Chains A and B, each alone.
Chain A
Amino acid sequence: MTVKITVNGRAEAVEAELDTPLLWVIRDELGLTGTKFGCGVAQCGACTVFVNGQPRRSCVTPIGTIPDADITTIEGVSDKVAKAVQAAWTEIDVPQCGYCQSGQIMSAIALLSEIDKPSDRDIDLAMNGNVCRCCTYHRIRAAIHDASKRMEG
């Protein structure tokens, strides 16, 4: 079946069964491999993208449940918040293996887009669905605070 979605501002028509997870449409059909498969059951957050501006675990999002949705992947984030997060991540050298980081960054951008000066509690509640097997959590929290400061400029 043909499903119409917009991905990173570009209209796409993909052939897929309606129960196909969005993750596989993004990676296999559209070739956008920045979004990662981690657990497949919404327990790790590696597959996080934005659906109509809100973070979603793409591994548990059947494509048939989001007709005409506006999707943003890690390849498509470029606003002021995203640039602040990118700079902070680089400055603090957050990633170790890096596998979870696109999901971490998407969740961080989602948080900072709504709360520009998050507390540690805000960060923990927004980010604890994103698992990091290298345990970079302290650097992630520091980088979100750093990005928050960069957004002031």
Chain B
Amino acid sequence: MNFKSIAILAALPALIAGSVYAQSSIKPAATETLRPLSDFAEIKDEKDRSVALFQEAGKVITHARCVNCHPASDRPLQGEDKHPHQPLVVRGSDGFGATGMRCTTCHGPTNVDHAHLPGHPLWHLAPIEMAWEGKKLGEICEQIKDGKRNGGKSLDQIVEHMAEDSLVGWGWQPDAGRSPAPGTQKEFGALIKAWAETGAVCPAS
């Protein structure tokens, strides 16, 4: 056996292990639900109700399906445990990756279940000013309302984004083996709308 043959045989387990790692890292967690708006009617104080509504919506906002693409660094996260994206990829100047290694190098317009690969026509990272990773829910809430850190969106536009945006909606329609965000996008949108209508009050922490 020559040297090159030995090198091939020696390296095969590493490649195979890489594939197994990619698949084993995305075991789904149990699907969570969101409480309906009617559950919050009994909270008489409007500010308290607003906070409670956002805390419920926070189950979605802090879920891996959302945080993984709102990372604090230039590198996205993946999996239920929010580990760094493998292979190493970065946000790039426009959120769609580095030159020569765009998100679209791997991510197509649809999920590819046999490869456990998520997909969407606009697959990309949130801008760095919209990073949620490592932040408390109250901090994220203030960030979402801050025009300098939310892409200049009004509160109405935030509600629309959360309730209607199709890339946000991917969070409830992930590829096979990946847990969806809690509830439905419609329920999540209703919580955010009710939060906005009650003054968009943020939790203290």
Contacts and interface: CB of A to CB of B under 8 A. Distances in A.
Interface of A: 38-44, 48, 54-57, 59-62, 65-66, 96-97, 99, 107, 110-111, 114-115, 122, 125-129, 131, 133-134
B116 interface: yes
A43 B19 contact: yes
A114 B106 contact: no
B15 interface: yes
Contacts of B7: 96-97, 133-134
Interface in B95-117: 98-102, 104-106, 108-110, 112, 114-117
B14 A133 contact: yes
B23 interface: yes
B18 A39 contact: yes
A129 B101 contact: yes
B100 A42 contact: no
A39 B19 contact: yes
Nearest to B112: A60
Nearest to A62: B112
B15 A60 contact: no
A60 B108 contact: yes
Given A60-B108, A62-B108, A134-B7, A110 B100 contact: yes
